Structure 1
Amino acid sequence: MSRDCDSLPENTIVVGCGAAGVDFLATVATYPKPDDKIRSTSFKIQGGGNAGNALTCTARLGLKPRIISKVADDTQGREILHELEVDGVDTSFMAVSKEGTSPFTYIIVDSQTKSRTCIHTPGFPPMKPDDLPESNLLTALNGARIVYLDGRLHETALVVAHEAVKKNIPILIDAERLREGLDDLIKLADYVVCAARFPQAWTEASTVSKALVCMLLRLPNIKFVIATLGKDGCIMLERCVNEDPSAEEVVVDKLLESLEMRKNGSTHIPTCISSPVTKLHAEGIGTVCSRLYIGTAKNIPPSELIDTTGAGDAFIGAVLYAICANFEPEKMLCFAATVAASKCRALGARSGLPYRIDPCLASFMQ
């Protein structure tokens, strides 16, 4: 990643392929037990879906996102398109089926535990590569700075990914969980952002840090991989191309432990702690020349923490912006944590997404 930072990216076009739908969000005092009948304390209908949320985030930050997805020509589908367009997301590459249903998700937000439970219903008919004519794909990728794939619509996403590789457009993959077709996509990625459980699930390594080393070794094209850890922040492993022969070999778990001990007790402002370039060793896995980063999350008072739905999508949207703006890794992780925290102060995946001019982002946009 470039170490030079420009507050306004020269190339602002981001192409995303993945889920866009409708979220039905109900807040409850406590999560219901079986056969319970309870009332919601608040309710909201809002656009959702990983790709839809992350691209909305990039649009509010000033980028020009284009989305490849599919909805039906029903009330929900029309609202999905309208909401994206209002936020500045280009929907001209979306497929719209004359019949069927658009994707939607029921989300129960527990006010007591600050957790959310999602029940997703996929759209029908599902998106297939034939829904994306080659001419549309080529137009969508024209001038793109980066391609983002959320792991959904894997057959179409693979077509998009192969074309992006041909055009030397870098690819960021959202590895939220093990999904059909994800292995084929992740092999083509330049950047990977994972949910907390994914690295170990995918590699079967005993710790997250070992799993990240394993991912860099298995995926030689990856420039960095980030594991998001919710309120515990994130861990990032960045590949170092120019290996220093004199670099010391360090056990990755021990290095992570030493970085954790350097954390500042206060997390009101996100911080980032990094190691020097080193040869990181994972027992039974191997060694990779890389740099390890720990990013802290922004502390949100319980009274202000409303809903974590879409926090990961907000984080990814901010990472996409940071890549386009050539942020240094330390700045990128603090920026992404700030954007994700802002989202968590409102109900739904999009209500709290900050705009570029938001005061909380002023220090990053200078």
Structure 2
Amino acid sequence: MSSDSVLPLLETPIIVGFGGVGVDFLAVVPFFPKPDAKIRTTEFKVQGGGNTGNTMTCAARLGLKPRIISKVSTDAPGKSMMEELEAEGVDTSFLVVSKEGTSPFSYIIVDSQTKTRTCIFTPGYPPMVPADLPKANLLSALDGARVVYFDARMADSALVIAQEAFRQNISILIDAERPREGLNDLLGLADYVVCSENFPKAWTEASSIPRALVSIILRFPRLKFAIVTLGKEGCIMLEKCVDDESSHIEEMDVDSCLTSLTKTKDDSIAMPTCIASPVTKLIAEGIGSVCGRLYFGTTEKIPPSELIDTTGAGDAFTGAVLYGSCQM
């Protein structure tokens, strides 16, 4: 992303991220191995990772002032993570550092042939609990924050932080990668949600992603928008609008609305584009309706020779959403 494509901020907003951090051991291989096979790496890297670690790093690079709350150990991976985050401009003073145990880490197999990545995650020990974050520390971490981000891990601690953010009227963004314990409670407090491609239909049992988005917005009336990432196909966003019953608003089936948007996509354009519907009463039969605007966003067309792997791509997307939410 070039600096010219980033909208300037009138100030430097503070954001807070709570959730997973870790060290990623990335092994690049020519093809994904079959069971019991032995193959060699073509490249090997060790770098910081975790949903929240990646997202806060992206936010810092876009010009925000992120603070991160998570738990690591005093082992070498933990120290490495802290140093890397600090070098990126992420405030690590609210990290809980255990004098014993192990920091989280992941083995990641990057398939050069298909450009996919397979993650094998090992949680840190001991896990974070609400008692690890005294009230005074929590209040200090949230002081001046514009948005608080959660990747929905460590549910008990996440809920304590979210409830305090809610009390202080700080906006909350949830990264709903997959159904997790306590996610419903977090979504009930949220202003924004970013979902992985498979989450909405699996969670709502709706027959399509647009119908699932309507269901999510109806279930959680505080939500201002819900976004679904679609990998190389882009993303879909449903933004809720004020339903002014005194004015006539066109009604449209939400699936048909998305179909009409995708038909206007120009495949000859390499850069990302955003196609939006007018404010419409979007109907999902058997579920309900939402007054809002549906968006379809495309991705940049990157030549295969320039594509390295997709590790952290979704987290970078969410970091950009955080940047945008700070301007709302």
Q: TM-score, with normalisation over the residues of structure 2?
A: 0.96
**1:277 aligned residue:** 279
Letter in 2 for 1:36: A
- The 8 Å contact of residues 15 and 66 in structure 2, kept in 1 or not, is answered as yes
C-alpha contact 1:11 1:144 (8 A) present in aligned 2: no
Alignment-mate amino acid for residue 273 of structure 1: I
Partner of 1:225: helix, strand, or coil? strand
2: CA distance, partners of 1:300 / 1:183: 36
Q: Distance in 1 between matches of 2:7 and 2:113?
A: 42
Aligned to 2:8: 7
Q: Secondary structure at the match of 1:65?
A: strand
Matched, 1:250 2:233: no
Could you report, residue by residue, the CA deviation over 1:205-240 in whole angstroms, capped at 9, with x for unpaired residues?
A: 000000000011101000000000000000000000
Total equivalences in the alignment: 322
Letter in 1 for 2:209: V
Matching residue of 1:299:
301
Q: What is the CA–CA distance in structure 2 between the aligned matches of 1:12 and 1:231, rounded to whole Å?
A: 30
1:176-210 CA-partner distances (Å, limit 9, x unpaired): 11111111111111000000001111111000000
Equivalence for 1:70 = 71
The aligned runs of 1:267-346 (5 Å cut-off) are 267-326=269-328
What residue in structure 2 maps to residue 89 of structure 1? 90
Which structure 2 segments of 5+ residues have no match?
1-5
1:267 touches 1:296 (CA, 8 Å); kept in 2? no
C-alpha distance after superposition, 1:251-301 (max 9, x if no partner): 001111111101111241100000000100001100110100000011110
Q: How does 1:186-205 map to 2 (within 5 A)?
A: 186-205=187-206
For the 8 Å contact 1:7–1:325, the answer to whether it is kept is no
- Judged with a 3 Å threshold, the aligned counterparts in structure 2 of structure 1 residues 120 and 267 are, in CA distance, closer, same or farther, namely farther
Q: In the alignment, residue 296 of structure 1 is paired with which amino acid?
A: T
Matched, 1:16 2:17: yes
Could you tell me how far 1:11 is from its partner in structure 2? 4.6
- Whether the 8 Å contact between 1:72 and 1:101 is mirrored in structure 2 is yes
User: Pairwise mapping of residues 50-199 of structure 1 onto structure 2 (< 5 A)?
Assistant: 50-199=51-200
Partner letter of residue 319 of structure 1? V
Q: In the superposition, relative to structure 1, how do residues 6 and 27 fare at CA in structure 2: closer, same or farther (>3 Å)? A: closer
Cα deviation, residue 10, structure 1: 2.3
CA contact (8 A) 1:58 1:64 kept: yes
Give the distance between the partners of 2:261 and 2:123, measured in 1 at CA.
41
Q: For residue 3 of structure 2, what is the aligned residue in structure 1?
A: none
What is the CA-CA distance between 1:243 and the residue it aligns to? 2.8
Q: Who is 1:265 aligned against?
A: 267
Question: Cα distance, 1:310 vs. partner?
Answer: 0.5
Shift of 1:131: 0.5
SS at match of 1:303: helix
Retained in 1: the 8 A contact 2:12–2:63? no
| 1:33 corresponding residue in structure 2 | 34
- Rounded to whole Å, the distance in 2 between the matches of 1:181 and 1:158 is 8
Following superposition, the deviation at residue 325 of structure 1 comes to 2.9
| Secondary structure, counterpart of 1:91 in structure 2 | coil
Give deviations 1:4-61, integer Å, cap 9, x for gaps: x962142510000000110000000000001100000000000000000000001111
Amino-acid identity (%): 65
User: What amino acid sits opposite 1:197 in the alignment?
Assistant: N
Counterpart Cα distance in 1 of 2:295 and 2:71 = 37
C-alpha distance in 2 between matches for 1:60 and 1:272: 23
- For the pair 1:208 / 2:247, whether they are aligned, the reply is no
Letter in 2 for 1:55: M
**Cα pair 1:53 1:313 within 8 Å, conserved:** yes
- 1 CA distance for matches of 2:147 and 2:294? 24
Q: Is the 8 Å Cα contact of residues 51 and 150 (structure 1) preserved in structure 2?
A: yes
Cα distance between partner residues in 2 of 1:6 and 1:231: 23
**Maintained 8 Å contact 2:28/2:109:** yes
Residues 20 and 52, structure 2, Cα contact 8 Å, conserved in 1: yes
C-alpha contact 1:9 1:324 (8 A) present in aligned 2: no
Higher RCO, 1 vs 2 (CA within 8 Å, ≥6 residues apart) = 1
**How big is the alpha-carbon RMSD for the aligned residues of Structure 1 and Structure 2?**
1.1
When normalised by structure 1's length, the TM-score is 0.86
Residues 282-330 of structure 1: CA distance to partner in whole angstroms, max 9, x if unpaired?
011001101000000111100011110110000000111111134xxxx
Whether the 8 Å CA contact 1:11–1:324 is kept in 2: the answer is no
1:72/1:99 contact within 8 Å kept:
yes
Q: What is the match of residue 334 of structure 1?
A: none
Q: 1:154: how far off?
A: 1.3
